[in-house]
Structures are given as structure tokens and as C-alpha cells.
Amino acid sequence: MSRARRNSPRRGWTVFKMLLLVTALAAAGIVAYPMLRSAHSAAAVTGATPAGPAELTVRYRTDPASTVAVAKPWVEVINASKKPVNLSDVTLRYYFSADDASAAYGSNCVQTHLGCANVTESIVTAGTASPNADHYVQIGFTSGAGNLAPGATTEAIGLQLYRLDHQQLNQSNDRSFDAKDTHYAPSKLVTAYIGSTLAWGEEPSGAAAPGQGASAPAAAQAAGAPPAGVFFDNFHYSGPDDPVLAANGWQARTEQGGPGIHDTWTPTGVSFPADTTAQGGQALQVQVSSDGTKQGTKQAELMSTKAGFFTGTIAARVYFSDTPANGPTGDHLNESFYAISPDDTSAKYSELDYEYMPNGGWGAPGPELDTTSWHSAKQGDRATKALKKQQLQGWHVMMITAMNGSVTYSMDGHDLFTSDSRYFPRESMNIHFNTWLIDLQQLGAPRTWDTKVNWLYYQANQTVSGADVQKAVTGLYAAGTNYVDTLPKS
């Protein structure tokens, strides 16, 4: 019988060396892991593309012109992962460079099958400026946008970017703009996030890391689906010819007739300028100008085209002027905010008015604020009350509450007047904001007067306090929601 084979000294030494090598490599790995982890974190801060397969894909297209009045980026988000993605967890960043230090910008949603009320937009100054990307438009989604299944797409989301001073935009130095992309193509220059994690694209060098910028993606995630029966607009439009203005149910008046100086209505008096005193930094401006002649007079009005306002609470933050923006004072000016039936011959005619006359009118001295509920369009068929001798220069929250057979008018939380059931609205109404002249005054020089509107909020069929209106409006601004319409479709 043979003897068992003995291990040779050389083989034992080889095994021992291998054990030493494994131990050394393991120790090196323990030391190296924090270094690798740190390097990965640094890559996230400096804007490298995330490791591994992208969870989202962003496709982009635009018009080719680099100098435009309104930039028109279109984006599409595709779920490239194998799990559903909640769109309210998703934010996008479209990077651009301000044309000059004083330029202020606005943005809005033009079109999407998700509903523009479910798309949020805000202009953010980058925490750390980098070439061609010192600002970005942050795009988010409310919970009403729903989920994206694996492989699914949001389809096209049309956006607008514009300067509030109406100057031309130079897109040639905007990081996310690419004149070649006139058809949809993946663009890593538009970044996408799920929560605070970069899920697509390449951040600008030196830009804030996900979740650490001047406006972190999480800020837009708090937006819930708009409640039923609400209308909200903060008037973030590029001008009276903005297609979004018409799509959202507004038009600048061109129809002639009264009130005031007949046949002097023009859309040129309707604009949406930057305003540092307005919540959100932008407002509707309705301007009247005159040199004392009919030919030299222009009146302005913005009116809703959808008669969706009936019972409930209507509120608007309005800026009344006691003095002209330029030129001499003394005009018999009427600054109005009101709801009115579309047909003044209807048997169910309804009208609820605020009219402020800083210099009075019709033989009465000013200042005077009239609150009026009409039963019909016939002269005098109304209930009215005047607040006299109180100058209202500045911003005020004006509210009309039509509930339980009575209409209450309030300003800045204080009730002014309540009309009874005879003057309660009987049919749906449109909203109007206008500025007009009761008569013509010869004051020796041209002048302009401005009325401004910061926002409009309406809750159907409910009494809402002023504090709750402001809370709702502030929440919509914080979410980047410019427009909501969940009123029943007629």
C-alpha cells in the first residue's frame, strides 16, 4: 500500500504568499472605498452624468432662430426605467443666460395633454453661475399629472420663455438652446431629476448639485392636484397677443362702444410687466392714455371669454392709482373690476361691480369706491354703496362673495357692503378688468394712468375667507403654478 503524499515546502510557501496578497488587496480596498465614494460625490457636485443607465430621457426641440421675442422650447420626458415614475417627483431644468443684469424673465406652459394646470414653471437664478447657464427654468408637475409607466412618454410639453421688458432674447449663449434641434432629439443639456437625484443629462460645470440649488427640485413636489371648482391666474404672459392668454380664456378688448369715451378701446394698453411690488414679480397692467381729445385717447380692458363665474368667492389683488404714471392729474378716471353676464338682454342678467374713481365723476368729488349689485341692465335697477374720501393708492385684495342669497363686497378683509337676494346673480358671468375715462378733461398735456392686477382667484360654491384665499394663492405661487381651471366645462 502506498504512503500518503506529503506537501512540499515550496507549495506551502506559495499558498502563504497568496494569502498575504489577498489580505493586502482587501486592506487596500477598505482604504480605497472612501476615496472612490468621495470621487463619486464630487462628480455629482461638479455635474458629471450619473453612473449607470439613465432612468429618464428628455427629448427637446425648438425653433431655429436664436434672436426672438419669445423662446419656444418643447420637451418630452420618457420613462427609461423598468418601474413606474410618479411625475410629481420629476423636475426638469432648462438652462439659459440672462442677456443683461437687469433683465427679468417669465415663462408659461403653452400646450400639453397633461393639462398646463398640472405643469409648474419657475425662473431660478443659479446658486453658482456658469458659462451660458446663470439661470434656469424649473419645470415640475402636480400630482394631477399622474404616473409614467415603463417606456411611456409625457408627449410634447410646449413652453415659453420671455423677457418681462419685451426686449428680444438672445438664445445663442443659452446652454440648453440648440438651433439644430428643430425635431425632437435626446438632449443632455436639459437635466431631469427624480426627487433630488440627477436622472438625465449633464449639469453645467459649477452649477448646484441636485437638491442643493437656489430652488431645490423638492420645492415643486409639494404641488397637489388642483381642487375642483377653482380658477386661478397670476397673469404670467408675454403680451396681449400671447397664444397662452387666449388659450386660458382671456382677450384684450378691441370691440368698440362704451363705457367712457366710445370707440377708443385698444389692446395696446394691456401688458404684463415686471413689478417688484407684485407677488411673483409680474402683473397685468391695464393702461389708459389721453391728451384730452377723443383721437388722442386710448382705453384698455382685459376680459374673460368663458362665463364660468357664478356663486362662490371671487378675489383679486388690484393696484389702484390716485395719480397718473406721467402727466398732469385731474382726469375723471374709472378703475374697474367686475363680473357680468355675457348678454345684457338676458332675463337672468347679473352684474357685480367694483369701480374706483380717484378724482370722482358724474359731478361728484373723489376719491370714491362704488360697490354695486345689478338686477338688470336697466338704469338704476341696482343696489349700491359708495366708500367716499378714502384714497386707495396701492395694492388691495378685493373680494366678492355670492352665497346664500346675498352678495358681500370686502377689501383687505373688511366688509364694505352686502346686497340682498333681489340682486343675487342668476346666471354665470365673465370677469373684466378695465380702465376708462368718464369724460374728457383739458389738462394741458398728455398723461397715462395704470391699474394693475396681481392675481385672480375663484372658488365656486364656497365662502372662502380672505386669509384662506391668500394661503391658497401663496401655495400656488410656491409650487410654480401660474394657471388653474378646474371649473365645470359648459
- Per DSSP, 101 falls in state T
Q: How confident is the model at residue 223 (pLDDT cuts 50, 70, 90)?
A: low
Contact (Cβ atoms closer than 8 angstroms) between residue 208 and residue 196: no
According to the model, what pLDDT value does residue 467 have?
Answer: 97
Please choose, from the candidates 443, 471, 444, 337, the residue with its C-alpha nearest in 3D space to the C-alpha of residue 392.
337
Q: Which three cell numbers stand for residue 35?
A: 476615496
How do strand 105-111 and strand 157-163 relate by DSSP bridges? antiparallel
Element holding 365 (H helix, E strand): none
Looking at per-residue pLDDT, the higher value among 433 and 54 belongs to 433
The answer to whether the pTM exceeds 0.75 is: yes
Please choose, from the candidates 133, 138, 104, the residue with its C-alpha nearest in 3D space to the C-alpha of residue 280.
104
Q: How confident is the model at residue 16 (pLDDT cuts 50, 70, 90)?
A: very low
Distance CA 299, CA 114 (A): 37
| Residue 18, in any domain of the structure | no
- Residues 361 and 465 reside in one and the same domain: yes
Distance CA 328, CA 233 (A): 33
- Residues 190 and 234 reside in one and the same domain: no
Distance CA 433, CA 358 (A): 16
Handedness of CA 39, 42, 48, 54 (dihedral sign): positive
Q: How many CA atoms lie within 13 A of 394 on its CB side?
A: 6
For residue 159, give the CATH number of its domain. Answer: 2.60.40.710
Neighbours of 82 (CB within 10 A): 9
| Residue 47, in any domain of the structure | no
Percent of the chain with pLDDT strictly greater than 70: 85
Neighbours of 19 (CB within 10 A): 10
- Residues 119 and 267 reside in one and the same domain: no
| Residue 2, in any domain of the structure | no
Q: Which residue is it, cell 499558498?
A: 15
Q: Phi and psi for 178 in degrees, rounded to 5?
A: -140, 110
> Tens digit of pLDDT for each residue in 420-455?
999 999 999 999 999 999 999 999 999 999 999 999
Distance CA 310, CA 308 (A): 6
Q: Which three cell numbers stand for residue 450?
A: 395704470
Distant-in-sequence, close-in-space partners of 22: CB < 8 Å, separation ≥ 6 = none
Given 169, 192, 221, the domain boundary residue is 221
Element holding 475 (H helix, E strand): helix 466-479
According to the model, what pLDDT value does residue 54 have?
Answer: 80
Given 164, 198, 221, the domain boundary residue is 221
- Residues 365 and 431 reside in one and the same domain: yes
Q: Which residue is it, cell 341692465?
A: 377
Strand partners, 414: 411
Indicate if the pLDDT at residue 259 is higher than 90: yes
Distance CA 9, CA 17 (A): 13
Helix, strand counts (H, E) of the chain: 4, 31
Give the best-scoring range by mean pLDDT among 93-107, 337-351, 421-435: 421-435
Instruction: Please tell me the total count of domains within the chain.
Output: 2
Contact (Cβ atoms closer than 8 angstroms) between residue 262 and residue 251: no
> Tens digit of pLDDT for each residue in 361-399?
999 999 999 999 999 999 999 999 999 999 999 999 999
Range of the domain at 238: 230-485
- Residues 242 and 212 reside in one and the same domain: no
- Residues 132 and 260 reside in one and the same domain: no
According to the model, what pLDDT value does residue 52 have?
Answer: 57
According to the model, what pLDDT value does residue 127 have?
Answer: 81
- Residues 211 and 347 reside in one and the same domain: no
Mean pLDDT of the chain: 87
Indicate if the pLDDT at residue 27 is higher than 90: no
| Residue 30, in any domain of the structure | no
